[in-house]
Structures are given as C-alpha cells and as structure tokens.
Structure 1
Amino acid sequence: MNVDDNRDDLRQILDYYNAGSEINRLQSGIGVIEWERSKQIISRYLFDRPMVIYDIGGGAGAYSRWLAELGHEVHLFDLSPAAVEYAIALQSPGDIPPIHRIETADGRRIARSGGSADLILLMGPLYHLTERDERLDALEEAFRLLKPGGTLLAAAISRFGSTLWGLSVYGQKNDILEEQPFMSMIERELADGQHIRPEEYPNFIARAFFHLPNELKEEIEESGFNHLSTAAVEGPVWIVPALAEKWRNPESRAALLRISSIVEEQESLLGMSPHLLAAAKKRS
C-alpha cells in the first residue's frame, strides 16, 4: 500500500467518525448486544479499587463514561476530533464522576509514560489499522503503557461479519447478495480480511481489517502479551429475526445474553460473532 492509499484510508475513516456514525450505534440494532456483552466481559478484569484505565480509540466515550461512573480514573483517546468534542460535551458537571482526560490521539503514539495504566481498552484501533505492522505498533504501544501484570482488552471485527449480515437480511430487507459491489466486497474480505467500502454503500463502516480469531491471538502474542482468551461478544444470537422485539422483554433479553455467555469461547462459533474481544496480560 502506498502513501496516497494510506492518506485516502485515513481520510475515509476520519470522515466516517467525524460524521457521528458511531455516536448512537450501541443503542440500537445489534449494538445493544455488543454494549451489554462488552461490559460483562470488561467487568471481569476490573478491580474493587480505582484503576487507571486508558480507553484508546474510545470514540464518543460510551465505555469511558461507564467506567468513570464506577469510580475509575479514565483517560479517553481518539483519532477523530469530532468524537473527542462530543465526548467532552457529554461530560457531566454534576454528581457523576467525569472522564479524567479526553484527548485527540493516534493509538500508536499516546502521550503517557510507560507503565502508567492498569487496564487498556483497544475497542477500535485494531480494525482500522489495515496493515499488520500498524496493528503491532498499536499493540506494542499498549504494552509500553501498561503496568507489569496489567490487562489489555482488544476488540476486533470478525472476518465473516459482512457475509453473515448479508445472509441475515437477504430476501427479508433486501436482495443485497445479488448486488455485484456487495459480492465483490465480501469476496475480498473473505480472501484477506481487507474491508474496502464500495461507493454504493456510503453508510457501511469505513476502511478496515477484519480478523480471524487466530490472527488476533497471534498479533497479541507477537507484541509480548500473554493471551488469556478471545471471547465472542455478540456470539450467534444477533441473528434472531425478532431481535428488537425480544430485547425489550427482560426475560428474553436475559436468555439471549445467557446464550452469548455460554458459547463465548466455543472456537467453532467465534467467527459468527460480529465482534471479538481478546484479553491479555503484560508479563510481570
């Protein structure tokens, strides 16, 4: 990939997030499962005492606000100036503890000293750094920032996400599998993980890389971490046709979350989950 390609990719990514595409994503559609399940998984690695947490690529700050409300010292970093401005605007001057710091930053270069964080969230950078050496740079920066024994939680998008979504809506909401631009897009994703958004679908996620589960583990381990687990965030339950209706029913919602939790580390099902969340430790 040449320099111009990198600039074009960065421009598309910034345009996508600066337009506010992610601001309400976790409040509708399958985003509601991602939000609840991600919190479940993250909670397993929180201490009872206040922690220093770096939310790198944290967007408008949904996870940062939640963690700050729990009493942790949260530093939010994102590449999108608009997302950072929105996160700042959402800060509450009232009784809810605010996010400690909110800054515009590249996830590969964070202005903090080494060994200064107890926990790092990488909930976006790994799927928008499309070259392997770039992703390793971000992981190695997280390694530098963490205290010995600190925890990394790194998110990835499944290699099969677009394909499974296309199948889930085919013949119901549209006939997208019969559209050549979509078919060409998913063929490329399945071949090498590179997501290149066709002009015909301006609302699709910007330029990205979609992982296989074993690729995510390998990149984390190559960066010096001890890989603990890779969990399917949504798991297979997002395919439920009446998801919106069932989610509104507390008993149905609990059942869906329970199934996601039961199968979260079942290797044969990991690829069915739109998002993966890997946990790793910095060796002491």
Structure 2
Amino acid sequence: MQDQGEIDRRVRAYYGGLFDEGARLTTRSAQGPLEHRRTQELIAEHVNTGRVLDVGGGTGVHARSLRARGLDVVLIDPVPEHVAAAAASGIDAVRGDARSLPFEDDAFDAVLILGPLYHLASESERLQALREARRVTRSGGFVFAAGLSRFIALGANVLGRPVRSDGAITALWEQGLPPEGDRFPAGHFHTAEELADEVADAGLEVIAVHGVEGPAGLALEGMPIDRDDLTEAALVLARAISAEPGIRDFSAHLLAVARVR
C-alpha cells in the first residue's frame, strides 16, 4: 500500500499547479459538464434547501451551482490554491482535511465528499473521512460520497498497452491499488459494491450507488465542450441505467447517496 503522507503531498502538488481542477468540470472536455450536470441532478433529488458542506470541493464548481439554487454552502479543501479560487468567487471556503473536519456535530443538512475518498489509500482512512461527514450532518440529512471506478481504471491501464507481468494489474483489479508511475495521485479505485459497503460501515444508510456519467462518459473525454448533442445523449443513457449493478461501474465516477439515521 502507498504511503498516505506521500499521497497527500502529491495531491497538493498536483492540484496546486500541475492540473486545473476548475477547468476539468467546465471547459476541458465534454466529459466535465456531463459529470457536473449529472452529479447536480443526483444531489437535487434529495437536497433543495439548507446548509451544505462541500468537502474537497476544489475551486468551487459544485458549490457555486448549489449556491445558485439557494443553498448555503461552505467549502473545505486541503489545497491552498483551490481555497483561494473558491473564496474569490464568493464561496465561504476554508483550508482543511476530510479526515478531521473543523465543524460541530450536526452542523449541516448535507455533505458532499466528491473527491477525498479516491485519494485515501487505506480503508481505515476512508472510513474516518466518511464518519466525519456523518458526524457533521444532522439526523435525516444526506451524504454524497464519490469514488473512482476500478473497472475504468483497469481499462485505462490495459487497453492498447502491453500486458504487464509485475502483478500491478492484478492488484488493481483485486484490491483497487493504483499502479505506480501515474501522475494522478490516486489512493484507491472502488467497485460500486465496495463503495456501498464502506459507506454503510461508516454508519450511514445507503440509498443507492450511481454511475455518474454512464457508459458514454468516457467517449466524451476527448470531445470539445460544444458537442451539446453528445452530452444530451450521454445524459439520457446515464439517467436510464444510473444504478444498474455492473453497468454503473462503466462510469468513471461512482456516487453513493446515503442518509444519516
């Protein structure tokens, strides 16, 4: 297993200067707006009023959409550049860590944890982050927790590439361990069932696990953002089979929707 301290350092370096997280959901490709719109739809099915905490919220793309719907949003992120960008756009943003949230119990009506879990290598640290999200959410409130699909990660590492013989692909498929040498600071790749189990083990009631972008999402990664026809078609497909076991793992992002008992 990777050293978590090293992953944390890589996260700050990656998002602090190597990669534009704000552009990923807005202008980088047609995949980003698809992911953003579908995530917002899934949140809106359960949350339309109240106070929301966006944990690992990046530059505030999701936070700004929630605020535009009238919600009171607070963002927390470990990357100083993200916090500064979110604050500059008017979001209440602070620097902090998903594993130790500086908020009182029951302080929010909903919590988004859309990035941190796939940067945490050990199950114990992922459970710590999920339990913190549960702690600061009121009874009856919602937690939305995202993971990166192990199936998509496997495809990215084997399709069109020479077959590796060092056991890294087996470790990825069987345990969700990221292969070494990737610039992206991944800590873990989930299956939908594993994500559901971890969310439940954190004491939350799992309502559903969705594949966010659907099976057409990966094709949009290389498409320009002005292909609205493709985005709309991908949305129709994503909505239709969002929670289908097996098929949902064809989405790059998985989203567990859970409630605090």
TM-score (norm 1): 0.83
The letter for the 1-side match of 2:32 is: G
Using the TM superposition, give the Cα deviation of residue 146 of structure 1 relative to its aligned residue in structure 2, in angstroms: 0.6
- In the TM superposition, 1:1-284 aligns within 5 A as 5-19=3-17, 21=19, 22-27=21-26, 28-29=28-29, 30-47=31-48, 50-89=49-88, 91=89, 98-99=90-91, 101-166=92-157, 170=160, 177-178=161-162, 186-198=169-181, 201-202=182-183, 205-240=184-219, 244=223, 248-283=226-261
Unaligned runs of 5+ in 1: 92-97, 171-176
How many positions carry a matched residue from both structures?
258
The letter for the 2-side match of 1:122 is: I
Using the TM superposition, give the Cα deviation of residue 253 of structure 1 relative to its aligned residue in structure 2, in angstroms: 2.8
Change (3 A) 1:17 1:269: same
Residues in 1 aligned to 2:34 and 2:10: alpha-carbon distance in whole angstroms: 27
SS of residue in 2 equivalent to 1:152: strand
The letter for the 2-side match of 1:150 is: G
Residues in 1 aligned to 2:54 and 2:220: alpha-carbon distance in whole angstroms: 33
Give the corresponding residue for 1:173.
none
The letter for the 2-side match of 1:124 is: G
Cα deviation digits, residues 248-272 of structure 1 (max 9, x gap): 3444432221011101111021221
SS of residue in 2 equivalent to 1:40: helix
Change (3 A) 1:158 1:72: same
Change (3 A) 1:18 1:197: farther
Using the TM superposition, give the Cα deviation of residue 166 of structure 1 relative to its aligned residue in structure 2, in angstroms: 5.0
Change (3 A) 1:242 1:65: closer
Kept in 1: contact 2:56–2:116 (CA 8 A): yes
Q: Percent same amino acid at aligned positions? A: 29
Residues in 2 aligned to 1:82 and 1:215: alpha-carbon distance in whole angstroms: 32
Change (3 A) 1:45 1:20: farther
SS of residue in 2 equivalent to 1:134: helix
Kept in 2: contact 1:196–1:208 (CA 8 A): no
Using the TM superposition, give the Cα deviation of residue 32 of structure 1 relative to its aligned residue in structure 2, in angstroms: 2.7
Cα deviation digits, residues 106-165 of structure 1 (max 9, x gap): 111111110110010000111111100101111111111011100001010011222323
SS of residue in 2 equivalent to 1:244: coil
The letter for the 1-side match of 2:236 is: R
Structure possessing the higher relative contact order (Cα contacts under 8 Å, 6 or more residues apart) = 2
Kept in 2: contact 1:196–1:206 (CA 8 A): no
Residues in 2 aligned to 1:242 and 1:77: alpha-carbon distance in whole angstroms: 27
Unaligned runs of 5+ in 2: none
Kept in 1: contact 2:177–2:189 (CA 8 A): yes
SS of residue in 2 equivalent to 1:76: strand
Kept in 1: contact 2:4–2:121 (CA 8 A): no
